[in-house]
Structure 1
């Protein structure tokens, strides 16, 4: 571990968030669609299918849903076993493009987040420390996306297959990615730093501020209460991290700036 927030020790970060299932994020995959569907899938990256994925810190995909527009809502509302399941008290780490809500913890907004913003700087308060460790873990799914697209160039080739086949190709490539990672963790492409970022560089679902928990029917008041409870949980985790951090580096003095 180091005095930049223990980023060098991934397991120590995971241990601080025992109830974290993994990281969740979205990416774009180039797509070919019939002319009557193009407008629905056109964005700043051109015509793409949205892909939602969850992964573990060792870059294994645990959930993939491809081929959609507003994909998180669909993932949450699908019946099991095809829906994205959030266990009671467990949660995924997601980026600031998602609001904090039951089962999903995003970073603090308006606070330094990306690892490069922390380069050479120690965290000044609990929110910066939380965001630093959050970013360190979330970088794993961005890395997994980058590896996936670089290993399987067909994902960037706009293949001339029916759209449902294009969706299946994403799923198949994700399965092969996991197989390679499990069977040959020393594989060159899995460990090449130049591939460790999502090459499209864009979150597929940014600014989607109207997300709610589709796993249950809630009134607006209940939704607000649930989100406030999860904000409190994030604050509790951030404080526990801060206390542990300063127990190690500042003899228990927890002054914030």
Structure 2
């Protein structure tokens, strides 16, 4: 894992404790009529798939089979609550980068909300403050998982074909495709599809939590006050990273002037 992470200079400098990116994607599903309503969400009738990947698009964790109507954060909590080896592991002091559909909390750092984020929003514009700069660099790395999802679906068309198999097999197909994806990425890192970054699907993301300090993490044996304190500590870590980025950026491009707008 660390060999892969060290390949990205931006990551090693500013996100040196990051162990990957995390996000959810939707895969078309076929279900009995009595289950369709449960799986119908904003993307149609789908299974919601949670994944983590490295900067060079290797999947390190997959949780498939959730209803398409399920919230990404709810699925993340399920992944964290599962015992190993089926649960998502978060290492002390390490973290994943995630989008605004997840709160900043121990092991996960999301972007600043209410600040332009996606790379297209930054096109032709220079950062005006530390939050914009942080979001720009956060997005440049987290976009790798969006691209990985796009590559996966572009290569394995069965993921978009609503296969007429029992649903457990549809879930297994997702897992099998990610394993084959990793095999191809490992054996042939110059693979044409793997090196196309335009496959950025799901860029609209989920509706962000307006006040994540009120969220209760049922996977942890902590009081709500302790959870709030932990989340605030991780928000402070994000602020420290953003300020260090901004000072360095201003030293290089603004004669050391750190005034923000």
* Structures share fold, TM-score greater than 0.5: yes
Higher relative contact order (CA 8 A, sep 6+): 1
Moved more, 27-36 or 10-19: 10-19
Question: Residue 63 of structure 2 aligns with which residue?
Answer: 65
Q: 1:14–1:216: structure 2 CA closer, same or farther, 3 Å change rule? A: same
Moved more, 171-180 or 62-71: 62-71
Q: 1:210–1:225: structure 2 CA closer, same or farther, 3 Å change rule? A: closer
TM-score (norm 2): 0.87
Residues in 2 aligned to 1:149 and 1:205: alpha-carbon distance in whole angstroms: 28
Moved more, 141-150 or 244-253: 244-253
Q: 1:24–1:203: structure 2 CA closer, same or farther, 3 Å change rule? A: farther
**CA-to-aligned-CA distance 1:120-141 (integer Å, 9 cap, x gap):** 1111111000000011011100
Whether contact under 8 Å (1:147, 1:198) holds in the other structure is: no
Q: Please list every run of 5 or more consecutive structure 1 residues that lacks an aligned counterpart in the other structure.
A: 1-9
Shift in Å at residue 205 of structure 1?
Answer: 11
Moved more, 59-68 or 207-216: 207-216
Matched, 1:246 2:241: no
How does 1:25-64 map onto structure 2 within 5 Å? Answer: 25-64=23-62
Residues in 1 aligned to 2:253 and 2:221: alpha-carbon distance in whole angstroms: 46
Q: 1:223–1:39: structure 2 CA closer, same or farther, 3 Å change rule? A: same
Residues in 2 aligned to 1:220 and 1:46: alpha-carbon distance in whole angstroms: 35
TM-score (norm 1): 0.89
Q: Please list every run of 5 or more consecutive structure 2 residues that lacks an aligned counterpart in the other structure.
A: 1-7, 68-73
Q: 1:103–1:140: structure 2 CA closer, same or farther, 3 Å change rule? A: same
Residues in 2 aligned to 1:38 and 1:212: alpha-carbon distance in whole angstroms: 29
Shift in Å at residue 198 of structure 1?
Answer: 5.1
Residues in 2 aligned to 1:160 and 1:62: alpha-carbon distance in whole angstroms: 28
Shift in Å at residue 13 of structure 1?
Answer: 3.7
Whether contact under 8 Å (1:97, 1:209) holds in the other structure is: no
Question: Residue 71 of structure 2 aligns with which residue?
Answer: none
Aligned counterpart in structure 2 of residue 96 of structure 1, from 100, 108, 113: 100
**CA-to-aligned-CA distance 1:134-179 (integer Å, 9 cap, x gap):** 1101110000000000000000011111111111100110011111
Moved more, 186-195 or 240-249: 186-195
